[in-house]
Chain A
Amino acid sequence: MPKANEKQVLEIIQRALFLEDKKVSLDTSVEDLEEWDSVGHLSILSNMDKFFDGKIAPIREMATADSVRKILKILKENSLI
């Protein structure tokens, strides 16, 4: 599977949270979006795992990644972006 880029990751989060008018950026965190609650985070994890072909589920620290930058850092550490 080819590596993803940051733009694709932002789009996954955007779609997972069903954001229409609001935009996700590199600086977005859970405090910025009402939609990024516990239910929204499950959607992010689920959509990420689907996109990355099942490679997200074993990365337990994704459960506590509460900002876009933290998500990107974990993905980089696991050579997914």
Chain B
Amino acid sequence: MRVKIKAIEYYLPSATEDASVFKSNNPDWHIEEIEEKTGICVRHVSEPGQTAVDMGVIAVEKLFASGISKEEVDFIILITQSPDYILPTSACILQDRLGLKKTCVAFDVNLGCSGFIYGIAIAGALIETGVTKKGLVICSETYTKYIDKSDRTCRPLFGDAASAVFLEACSHDTLGPFEMGTDGSGFCDLIVPSSGARISQGTVQNLKLFMDGSKVFMFTMEMVPKCVKALLSKAAKTINDIDLFIFHQASKVVIDNIIRRLDLPKEKVFINFSQIGNTVSASIPIAIKDALDQGRLKERDQVMLVGFGVGYSWGGCLMRWGVNS
């Protein structure tokens, strides 16, 4: 696709949780052992009443402050599984809150950790087909609102965040190919069960996240390497051709096992989950921004992005970074 990321920003809530918070809430937890496996020391937590739309507004306003004009935004794709309401579409609320033009296309995509890849694929298609010219892919999640304080599986992993990416057409083929997939048989392994329309009669809505960590882990160990290999094959490239791998920042044990199973050079894999946590769909764009700021991602670098998780759903793509239009 002749589409490029022109600008990228993100927002992390100021409130954080670390080992000391867990120890005071759950003195029976072996925090050091958990941290050793997750590699996550700090997670950011949205304020009570602060929503995905609120955080998305802050991330986009950072983009506007960096020089992107509101008038340029032809579309908003909001990736979220913690929308402000079941309906209306949160992206519509964002259009109004951001003061964007009324010809702006706005819709939500209900995907988790694979969501950013799907978002830029859709954005790329909108731009390449001439439906729109430029726009935003926003990933914003407040998973912590779904997690009980005593949930030892989910609480040490997930943090809240919002990212905003501005895409536009360019003269070179910089984005793609893509490799995506779905295995809905794993839908109940990462789920907010008492939610949506499928609630048994007489059951009260209880928005608590459930994750079968072992099953999700097995899925990632099997499918992510397959996705990477399929993508390399589709692009007729090898691991040596990739300058930087940016995976969804799930946790240390997941990334370590992907590296092992693919025999990847560790220095080619960008990692930033330690002080941020697993921020679901926002994790890849946040990692891209951090890689840029740290000088790990440079002009013309060939990058592989891979997201995977809830659904099960996965998606990967290649991206040639920073080719000028």
Contacts and interface: CB of A to CB of B under 8 A. Distances in A.
Nearest to B38: A39
B92 interface: no
A45 B214 contact: yes
Interface in B221-246: 221-222, 225
Contact of B218 (A37, A39, A63): A63
Contacts of B261: 49, 54, 57
B221 A49 contact: yes
A37 to B, nearest CB: 8
21 contacts: A38-B213, A39-B33, A42-B213, A42-B217, A45-B214, A45-B217, A45-B218, A45-B221, A49-B257, A49-B261, A54-B261, A57-B221, A57-B225, A58-B222, A59-B218, A60-B215, A60-B218, A60-B222, A63-B212, A63-B214, A64-B215
A23 interface: no
Which secondary structure dominates where chain A touches chain B? helix
Contacts of B221: 45-46, 49, 56-57
A38 B214 contact: yes
Interface of B: 33-34, 37, 152-153, 212-215, 217-219, 221-222, 225, 253, 256-257, 260-261
B293 to A, nearest CB: 31
Interface of A: 37-39, 41-43, 45-46, 49-50, 54, 56-60, 62-64
A46 B257 contact: yes
A63 B185 CA distance: 15
A52 B43 CA distance: 34
A62 B215 CA distance: 8
Contacts of A49: 221, 257, 261
A38 B215 contact: no
A14 to B, nearest CB: 16
Contacts of B153: 38
A62 B214 CA distance: 9
A41 B253 contact: no
B214 A41 contact: yes
A56 B212 CA distance: 18
B152 A38 contact: yes
Nearest to B215: A63
Contacts of A41: 213-214
Nearest to B256: A46
A39 B257 CA distance: 14
Nearest to B189: A63
Most A-side CB within 10 Å, residue of B214, B221, B260, B261: B214
B212 A46 contact: no
